């Protein structure tokens, strides 16, 4: 059974700092990996999707990497801003469209 772990559970940084969020998964036979953002009491917004054959994806200040063989992914946020404050979720699919989520990392960026 696939399990997804995110470290740290919470992170607080000053504005402008670069930061890394970590995600690991137990079964390396994934189809793709996604990073989502969830604001309090809200739904999910997809940030980046990495296919299993890819190593990284970039969107603006966000960069996600994937090391499928070791079961790890990182989300790098450059020059963090208070508006980046949210919970970031990592999720994998294993060949079907079903997503298996981690518990998330709650990020607070302080002005």
Partner 1 sequence: GAVVSQHPSRVICKSGTSVKIECRSLDFQATTMFWYRQFPKKSLMLMATSNEGSKATYEQGVEKDKFLINHASLTLSTLTVTSAHPEDSSFYICSFWPGLAGGGTDTQYFGPGTRLTVL
- Closer residue to partner 1, CB minimum distance, 13 or 49: 49
Segment interacting with partner 1, rule: CB under 8 A, options 20-28, 46-54, 56-64, 73-81: 46-54
Distance CA 26, CA 19 (A): 24
Task: Report the residue from 71, 77, 102, 105 that binds partner 1 according to the rule CB under 8 A.
Answer: 102
The set of residues, in sequence order, having a beta carbon less than 8 Å from that of 97 and lying 6+ positions away, is none
- DSSP class of residue 31 equals S
Q: What are phi and psi of 84, to 5 degrees?
A: -80, -10
Binding status of residue 62 toward partner 1 by CB under 8 A: no
Binding residues for partner 1 (CB under 8 A): 4, 31-32, 34, 36, 41-46, 49, 51, 89, 91, 93, 97-104
């Amino acid at each position: 059974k696939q399990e997804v772990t995110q470290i740290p559970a919470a992170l607080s940084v000053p504005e402008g700092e670069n930061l890394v969020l970590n995600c690991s998964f137990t079964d390396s036979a994934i189809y793709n990996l996604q990073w989502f953002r969830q604001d309090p009491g809200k739904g999910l917004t997809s940030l980046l999707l990495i296919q299993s054959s890819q190593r990284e994806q970039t969107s603006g200040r966000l960069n996600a990497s994937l090391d499928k063989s070791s079961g790890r992914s990182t989300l790098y946020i450059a020059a963090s801003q208070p508006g980046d404050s949210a919970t970031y979720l990592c999720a994998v699919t294993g060949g079907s469209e079903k997503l298996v989520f981690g518990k998330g990392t709650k990020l607070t960026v302080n002005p």
